[in-house]
Copies of this chain bind each other. A is one copy, B any other.
Amino acid sequence: AGDIKAGRAKASACAACHGIDGISKLPEAPNLAGQTEEYLVKALNDFRSGERKNEMMSMMAKTLSDADVANLAAYYHSLGKQ
């Protein structure tokens, strides 16, 4: 699993739309707080591979390494009340 602290640092790039608290700041941006780690990793990898397309996310995801993906997934999952 990823490193939550490293994920939090990386999440500064995501915070504008998803919030550092994982609560959506934009109607089209999903909440991420407490989301399942496996789903978060799959979503980020699909944006990286182009399996999933979104103007913003395709651009953002391409900057991420495998470790970033794991760390971000661990971080946002850790914010959950679930």
B42 and A36 form a contact (CB under 8 A):
no
Residue A24 at the chain B interface, CB threshold 8 Å: yes
- A35 to chain B: which residues have CB within 8 Å? 30-31
Minimum Cβ distance to chain B for residue A67 (Å):
20
Question: In the complex, which range does the number of interface residues on chain A fall in?
Answer: 20 to 34
Smallest Cβ-Cβ distance to A81: which chain B residue? B81
Give chain A's interface residues, CB within 8 Å of chain B. Answer: 23-24, 27-31, 33-36, 38-39, 42, 51-53, 80-82
7 A-B pairs besides A23-B82, A33-B82 with CB distance below 8 A are A24-B39, A28-B36, A28-B42, A30-B35, A31-B80, A52-B52, A81-B81
